[in-house]
Structures are given as C-alpha cells and as structure tokens.
Structure 1
Amino acid sequence: MGRLIITVISIFLIFSCQDRKKSEKTKADNLIYKIKLSASYNDLRLIEDETNSFKYDTVIRNNLDAISDKYYDLEKFEDYHRVSNTILEESKKIEDTVGIIEGLCKKGAYYSNIYKLDSMYFYYTKAENYSIKTKSKYLLGTIFLNKAVINQNLNDYYNSEKNSFEALKILKNKNDYYLLYNTYLNIGYASFNQNDDREALKYFQKALNTTDKIKNNTTVLSLKGQAYYYYCLVYNKNNNYKASYISAAKGLSLDDFKTKDPHVFCNLNNCLGYSKFKLNDSNAKTHFIESLAIAKKANNIFAINTSNLYLSEYYLKYNDTSKAFLHANEVLQAANENKLYDDKLKALLLLAKASPNAATNYFETYKTLSDSIINNERQTRDKFAKIDYQTNEIISEKETIEKQKESILQQLWSVSTIAIFIILAVLLFYFIKSRNLKNKELIFIQEQQNAKEEIYELMLNQQHRIEEGKYSEKNRISQELHDGVMGKLMGIRLNLFILKKRQDPDTIEKCLPFIDDIQNVEKEIRQIAHDLNQNLFDDNVTFISIVENLFTMIKSHSDIEFILQVDERIDWDLINNNIKINIYRIIQETLQNIDKYAQASKVNLTMNKKENEIHITIADNGIGFKPDTSKKGIGLSNMKKRMEEINGKFILESIINKGTKINLIFQI
C-alpha cells in the first residue's frame, strides 16, 4: 500500500512539472504578441523585463530579437545594443549557433548606426567566419552585403563588388527580394565606380526588375525611383543628358515623392534639373532651388550639398560668380561639419573657379585633401585587411588549440585511468583517518574567525558612533550660531547702521535698546555654551509674538510690508518645543535673506492647519533667483536640515522678477 502511494505521488509530481513547463512555454510564446502590439518605449522595457524572467532558449531568443528590432525602430540604439549583447552572450552559453550569429550581426548593425566602420567590420567578419565554420548560412548573405556596403563607403569598389557577388550566391535561393534588390544595386554601383558602365546599367536593371517581386507596396515605388536615380548617374557620367532626363522623369512620375519620400524626390529632381542644365535649358535652376528647399526641410545634408553644387555650377555658367561662390562655400562648410570629403573636393574646385584671385589657395587645399583621403582610405583598407587576417588567425589558432587539447586529453585519460584509481584508494584511506582531526581544526579555526569578526565589528560600530556624535554636535553648533547669534547680530548691525547717517537725539534714543540687545546676544552665546538645546519658548512668550518681533526688527530699517495670517485652530502650546525652535530659526533666516537680497516690498506669512499637519508659507514679491544655478549657502542647507530633523518637508519655489516662496510642512 505504501509503495502504491509513493508511485501515485511520483506520477502526480511528474505530470505537475510537465504542466508547469507547458504553462511557462505558453507564456513565453505569448510574449511575441505583446511585443508586436507594444508602441511605447516604457511598454517595451516592461516586456523585456518579463522576457528575461524566463530561462533562455530559442523562443526567448526570438522574443529578444523582436524587442531589439523595436528598440531600433524607436531609435533607442543603446537599448538595441544592450539586448544584442544579451542575445550573443546567452546564446554562447547554450551553444545556439543561430543566436550567436544573430548577436554578432546586431552588434555590427549598432556600430554601423554610429558610423564606427572598423567595429562594424570586425563583428560582421566574426559572424562570417562563425557561419562558415559551422556551415550555417543563416544571415550569411546579409553579412556579405553589409561588408560590401562598408567597402563601398571606403571607396574600395573591388572588394565591395566581390562581397556583393558572395551575397548574391546565397540570396538568389531565398525569397528576400529586398536584400536581393540592394545586392544588385551595390554591384551596379561598384561597376559604375570602376568605369564599367555597361555592367552597371545591367545590374541597375536587375534591381529595377526585382522590385516587381517585392510585396510591400509602401516602399516598392521608392525603390523603383532610387533605381532610376542610379540610371541618371551613369548617363550623366557619359554626357548622355537626354537619357538622364528621361530616366529622371520616369522616376518622378511613379509617385508623389515630394510628400511621400523627399529623399528620392530630391535625387531625381536634381538629376532632372542637371540634365536640363546640360541641355542649355535655363529653367533648370528652379529644380535645384526646389530640391534645396525640400532637402533643408528634411535635413538631408547629402541632397542639400548636391543642390548647392548644381546651383554653383549653374551660376558659374551664367557668370554670376558671387552666387556661385555663395553656394559652393555653403557646401564647403557643411562638408567640413559632417566630414563629407567628396563634397568638399567638389566645392573647392567650384570655389577656385568662382574666385580666381584665391584659386591657388583652393587648388592647394584640394590637392592636400585629395592626398590625405587617398592615404586615409589606404590605411583603413589595410586596417580592415588586418582585421580579416587577425580574425582568421584567431579562429585558426583556436581550432589548433582545441585539436591539441582533445589529443592531450585522450592521452591523459588512457595513461591516468589506473593511476587515478590507485590515488583515489590512497586518498580515501587518508581521508577516513584524518577526517575527524580536520573537522576539529576547521571548527576551531571557524570559531576563532567568528570571534575576530565580532570584535572587529564592535570596534567599527564604536568608531562609527563616535564619528557620528562628533558630526552631529558640530552640525548642531553651526546651526545654532548661524541661525540664532548671527541672525540677531546682523539685525542689530542693520539697525545701528543708521547712526552713520543721523546722530540726532531721537535717533540715538531709538538705537539705545539695540545696545541692550548686544548684551542679550552675549547672554545667548553664554547660554549656548552651557546648553545649546535651551528652550526658546517659556510660559510668558508665545510663538506668534516672537515671529512678530522679527517683523518689528526688520521694519525699523526697511519699508517692507509684512502680512501675517494665522489659523486660529493652531494651538502652539501643544506643539513640541524642538519643532517650534527649528521653525522659528527657519522663519528668521528666511526673513533676513529677504531683507538682504530680495528687494521685496511685501512679505506674506501664512500658517494653516490641514488635518494633522501645519502648513507655513513665506512668500515675497522680490527679484527671485534660480535655485538650480544659484550658489547654495549655509543658510538654505541649514533650513533643509532643520526640516529633516523634525521629519518635515522643505519646498523652495523662485521665479526671476516674480518673487520667492518657501513652504514648510510638518506634522503636529
């Protein structure tokens, strides 16, 4: 019977675990729908946290892949990079080949976005070698295509064409026509820059034909328009401006690119204008001006520069050198700011023509820059070649080491098997004999260690209390001296300052009481020395009367109007004296600051009771200040510390030329 019960419980536990695993898998699968529906960044962060709560597998990898793509669409590139790192590292742990390749490609895409081509090239090269090594062609076509784009950016058109053809071999067998379109376009552009115009037109035509197979109608017309733009580049290079005009017109007729895709519109419209310009149509200028305006609105620096270059060339033809210089100089400045060296070279040649007197300087700058670009491109190509070599070398060394490691392990295993059994027998005998002794030693050492740790912890706690007491006492003395003695001395000084201007008997008579106040300050200093926590309030003096006394002291030397409003429900006698002391000091410091700095004509001080809280507001109509940028003195710091001491809130609001408001909130 007992065995039967145990068997039933075991079966129940097995099915329970299986059900729990199924439930977790269902939850993980459902996350993909949340990701697709998420529209905001905050939603995506929450979904990412939920995804990371599951054990990493291929399903979670797919979810993280979708999350990273969403971050990219939202232009949250650092989050995109963070998730890409997670995919890469977690895929390595479970030896997920697809995930590793995907993570490497995503890191390459991240560095592409911030235009760090060397890092981009490094990660795509690692992904390529990993794909070839594992015989996995997943993403290999995309990898080759991205490397081709890097080569193109470095004007390395030979390797760009080579990598594009490698991509083409793989992508031809897939249905990703968008990537195939870009591959054809890249091959055509590489051929164009290697002066093989016939081959360029052939592949531009292939790219155009491929757009008929792309199902996404929202982008297909833009892709067609871009292909016609590349046609124009070839025709302009060969001075076939009629063919260029026809291609540009065909492209522009496909769609309303002016509103739907300004980038394509500017490219085609500039080509249309340039072909007209070369065919001696004086109306060409309107196309350049229109493209320039749209490009500036879209902040498309490449189209802006192209329009300005064409306008400069146009004005040179019609001998308007001042306008030609203006547009060429604008290109030069933009090229310098954005490091667009090809545009800078074109601008320098136009500036030399527009300004003959300075032509020599422009030509020298052109030659220096041209040489520098050539050297830089050569160095960068060498650097990328070194990355290829080092990556291959590292992989080769790793494979060699792994083979050697396997061989050594096999030898060690065969030689050491018998020795291991002998050693284990000896160790077992020794372990049995010495176990009790070792256990006693370990217990004794542990007890000693615990005792030392307890003593050390006690010493640290004692030292901490001493230091904390010192700091608290110093802080308290600083507050009392600043808020009490210094405040009163400043008030007496301001009231006695009038003796410098008037020394008539009435004035002297008014100032005599303040001499007595000096004695009171002396008494207060003495009292602080004996007992800094002495109660400021006794049975004969009320809190409100002390506050009103502050008003009287300031009114004696200023024209500030003070308005005091006190809620009758507040019973100050029931409020702790320590709270009243701190509140009084804060009000005193605030009024003194208003008197010294605010240049105010009116001060409102209100005290209200709201349930079990007291709300005190001090507002002036002075010049105000910027709390975030103004220099913070000890006064404001002391106010905040005093409110913290009584578990209250200190809120400061100030607007330039509109005054300052301080809110004090504490519980009764």
Structure 2
Amino acid sequence: MKFTIKSFFLIAFLLKAFLSFSQDVLTLNNEAMSSYKLNQKEAIETLKKALKIAKKSTDSLNIGRTKNNLAIVYRDLGQYKKSKELSNEALIMVKEDLIKASIYNNIGACNRKLGLYEEAISSYFKSLIIYEAKKELAKTATVNNNIAVVYSYLNLNVKSLEYHNKARIVFEELKDFKGISQSYNNAAIIYANEGDLEKSLKYFKYSLQLEKKLNDKKGIAESLNNVGSVHYYLGALDSAVYYFEKSAEMERNVGNFAGVSASYNNIAQVFLENKKVKKSKIYIDSAYHIAKKYNVNEDTENALLNYVDYYELQNENKKALNYLKKFHHYKDSISKKSNLKLLQEVETKYQTEKKEKEIALQKEELLEKEIAIKNRTLHAIFLASALLILGIIFFGIYKKNQYKRKQLQKEINLKDALATIKTQNRLQEQRLRISRDLHDNIGSQLTFIISSIDNLKYISKDVNDTLKDKLIGISTFTSETIHELRDTIWAMNKSEISVEDLHARILSFVEKAKIATQNMLFEVNYNIDKNATFSSLEGMNIFRVIQEAINNAIKYAEASKVEIILDKKENQFIASVIDNGVGFDIKNVDLGNGLSNMEKRMSEIKGKVAITSQTNKGTNVSFSVLIKNTSNDV
C-alpha cells in the first residue's frame, strides 16, 4: 500500500484525538474519585460520562479503570452485586497489575459483604500477591486488614489478629492514620468476640478519635456503631442507643444505607433487651427493608433474628417460628457455612504463588537489568560515535570558515592598505605641488621684494630716516615671512615628522635666536625616542607653539637662560620652554593673543597647554600631546 501525505495527516489526526480522549477520561476519573465520598451520585454521573468517552476511543485500559472506579463507588453505596459485576467486567479489559490488584480487592470486599467468604479470601490473596510484588506497602497493609476481617467473621480470631497486626505495623511506619484506625477497629471486634470488652472498647474509642481527626464521616459512623455495640454488651444500654443513633444519622448523611441498616438492627436489639417492644419493631422493619434493598446479607440475617425475638416477646410463637425458618433458609441460600479446609488451601496457594511470583520477578528484574546494561552500552557507543562524527564535521566546518574569514580579512586589509597608500600618495602629491608653488611663486616673489627694498635703500640715500626705517621693517618682516614659509614647506613635504626632525628644526630656530640675543643662553634637551613620529599637522603645530614660547621668553622674560626640553611620559609627548626671567603673577596678568594662539594650535591636535610662573622665579610653558607611533620606549 502506498503511504501518502494524506494518510500521514489522517493517522496524526486520529492519534491526537485518541490522546485527547484518554486525557479527558483520566481527568474525569481523577475528579470523581477525589470527591466521591462527599457526593456519590455526582461521582457516578462523572464516571459514567468518562466511560462513555472511553468507549468511543476503544481504549480498554481507560474503560477498565473507569468501570473499577464505578464499582468502588457502588460498593460504598452498598450495591455489592452491581459493584462486583462491574469489577469482573473491568478485570477482563485491564492488563496493568496495579489496576488488577485494585479490582481483586474490590471483588473481595463485595464477596465479604455478600457472605461469600471463601471467594472473598481468594480475591484478597490475588490482590495481595500483586501489591507485595510491586512493594505497595500501604495497599498491602489495607488488603491484610481486609483478610483479617474475613477471618474474624469465621471466628478464626488468632489468624485475624495476625493479619491485623501485620497491617497496623505498616500503617504506623507510614503514619497512615486511616489505616491505623481501621486496624484498631478490626482488632477491637475480635476482642469483643473473645469477651474482652474493656480492651475492645479502648480500641474502638482510639479508632473513633483518629476518625474524628481525619474528619472521615463514614469512618466516624462505623466507629460510633462499634462503640455502641460494646456499650450494649457491657449493659450500658442508654449509651449504646446514643452511639447507634449517632452512627445511623451519620451513615444516612453520607449515603451508606448498609451502615444505616446495621445501626437500626443494633437499636432494635437494645429495645428488645429493655422490653420496649413497640419501639423495636419500627427499627427492625427499617433495618430489614434497607438490608434487602441494598443486598446486605449480614444485616438481613440480623433483622430476621430480631423478628424472631420480637414475636417471642409478643407471645406470637408461630410467627417467631416462621421468621426463624426464614433466617435458616436465607443463611443456607448464601452458603455462609465456611469450609476451613478450602480456606487453608487458598492461603497455601497464595503463599506458593507469592514465592513463585517473587522468583519470577527476580528473574525478570535480572533480565531487565542485563538488557538495560546492554542498551546503555549500545546507546553510549552510538552516542559517542555520533558525537565524534558531529565533532569532526563541525570542526571541519569551523576550520573552513575560519580559513575563509582569514582570507577575507586579508583581502579587506590589503584593499584598505592599498586605498590608504593611494590616499597618502595623492595627499603627498598635493603637498609637494603646493610646497613647490609656495617655493617657486610666493618664495621667489618675497625674495624679489627683499631685493627691491635693498636696492631702494641704496638708491634713496638722501631720503629721511623714517622712510628708511619703514623699508628696513618691511625687509625684516618679509625675511621672517620667508623663514615661516620655509618652515611650512618643510612640514608639507613630509607625511610624518619624527622627533628627530622636530629637534633639528628647533635647533635651527635656536641658532637664529642666539644671533638675535647675544647675551642669552639657550639649551635644548630631549629624552625621547628619535623614531617617535607625528603627523605633519601635529609636527607643524608643535614647532609653532614652541617657537611662540621661545619668542615670548626673548621679548618679555629678561632671562639669561632659556631651556627647551622634549620628553615623554607614558603615551604623552611633553615639550617645555623654561626661562629664569622676571616671571609674573598669572592671576593678575592678561596673557594676550600669544597664549590664545598656542591653545588654538594645540586644540587642533587634541593637545594641552599649561603655564606656571612666579615673580622673579621664571616661567615654564609646557605642551602635551598624544604620541601615536613609537618604535621603542626610553
């Protein structure tokens, strides 16, 4: 058959619907069983709805689970035949052990209430085997309690106490107060049957105390009935009636009519003892009617016996005899006579099955462990191989991408370098062209102006001194302009200016200054790598600022010595012009345009200017700027 996309979506849709149905059924089951003790009718309606959904999905597990839960609710309502019927239907559909164990336990409870004690024991032991194998301690203890109750009905008190004690020990370890209460309650019944009424009353009251703490109305009702029974046997008839009536009222409130019939039978017996015959008849009729309606065999039998006592007290012996016959006929019809040999065989079978089950489980566990170890080993090998292959693939991809990135980065770097070189070449060509123009045109024109002025001085010997001074001034200014132009051309001819170039230029300027100021000593020092470089703009601005500082020292300081220091601190180039002249008070002196020009030049190259001076102690003008390139540090 060809598998199509349409088929795939159909299967996916059906699977989704199945899972949705299963979830709905599970939710409804949980909702019903969490609150069924408070409202059995509502729980039944919820479970019927869940069963309807489960049948639509044909999910046998959910159908069986829901039927079992319905059976439990019907059992607590006293409808034992219906409960047993549902449990047997559930048993056919369910394969899961724990649900099977719950079903067997419920069937055992129904058989016990129906007077089928051998069948009850057999069902309980089937449940017990599964719970013990699965190590479900609380549920194992509950089933042990149930088995003990059946042995108690059969007057096998020693056996009954044995199972009650087993259950009690587990419940106490688990701190399961409901289970502890049940164990004490059941043990109290046995002590009552053996005639130890004081001990029985003590156990019943302790059970009642626990039920009240748990606020379990059904459990409280049962314990009240049991306390009343012991008071009856002790002869405290008023107390007995009080407890029986309280029990009946609570049983009616929770909807447990089987418990109501038991309490009514007990009240009837008390009234018969007190010769309150008419009152007893009302309770006997009610007990018999409820017991027959809800198939409570034990209470039906007790009601029949109460009728016998009632008619004997009324001296209606014929009617008393008829009810006695009814009693024996009813007792025989439900096969209440116990077959002790059969019970022993059932328990022996249980012990054998238990051991066989334990051996089978041990073998199964060993096999599962071996398979699990093999699977883990295979999974580990497979996972390691997959991770290794993936690792190799990813490593190869990573190395390939890394190589591509490196190649791409090299290409980008090469393009950037070429673009930078081209830009630098263009800029250098422009600088050279501008510097040639300045040198050839403006330089030659300025030289021509100087020559013309010198000729005018010789030609015009008779002109007044004022005109001669002006001509000399123009000649001097023009000469200075030529020097500054040469400095500018020097800077423009270089893409970078090294510290060595700057130092040489400063020395050249200082030599000229020495000629102009014959009585002033100049000293140039530098403590910086010669290969440290600046851009042409930085170099030109630094030189101009130093030149301005030296000129200021010559003009205003009246100094005998000027020291120029070139230094480096960390990544900062620092130039200082220090004189020993008259100095000044910085706060009270206007520094004028000179400082402003220096600050502008330094700000262009992101540098700083600092001036320190004291009167008669000289002046220090410092300049600092970031060095971008150095080949090594000093």
TM-score, reference length from structure 1: 0.42
**Higher-Rg member (1/2):** 2
TM-score, reference length from structure 2: 0.44
Structure number with the bigger relative contact order (C-alpha 8 A, sep ≥ 6) is: 2
